Amino acid sequence: MATIQGKDRDAAADRGQLAAVRIAVDEVDEQIVALIARRERLIRIAGTLKGDDAEVRAPGRVERVIEHVRSVAVKKDVDPDIVESTYRSMISGFIELEMKVHHENG
């Protein structure tokens, strides 16, 4: 019966570990998507409450959100640049959605 030795055993262990990490990442992704869905519901409500396009775009609010999430990232020992770039992309998409909702209801 053949046994896994040396580098082959290490490679097999690495593949097993990688598979476990990928499963954990998939679970985190599902949690993130659930939170994005919650955020989307709130953004849709906000889009019906704002008076004009400027209120939807709200660059000052965007910068306050970015400042807040960067601060949270630092406290959680997460790279604030990654958090900021993720949020800027997400906010951009949500502004487009909110503009659509705003125009449909205004």
* Type of residue found at 74: V
pTM: 0.84
Domain coordinates in residue numbering, the chain: 9-105
2-61 confidence digits (pLDDT tens): 555 667 778 787 888 999 999 999 999 999 999 999 999 999 999 999 999 999 999 999
CB neighbour class for 47 (10 Å; exposed up to 12, middle 13-18, buried from 19)? buried
Q: 94: how many CB neighbours lie within 10 A of its CB? A: 21
According to CATH, the superfamily of the domain at 9-105 is: Chorismate mutase (1.20.59.10)
Q: Write the DSSP symbol of residue 58.
A: -
Distance CA 17, CA 30 (A): 20
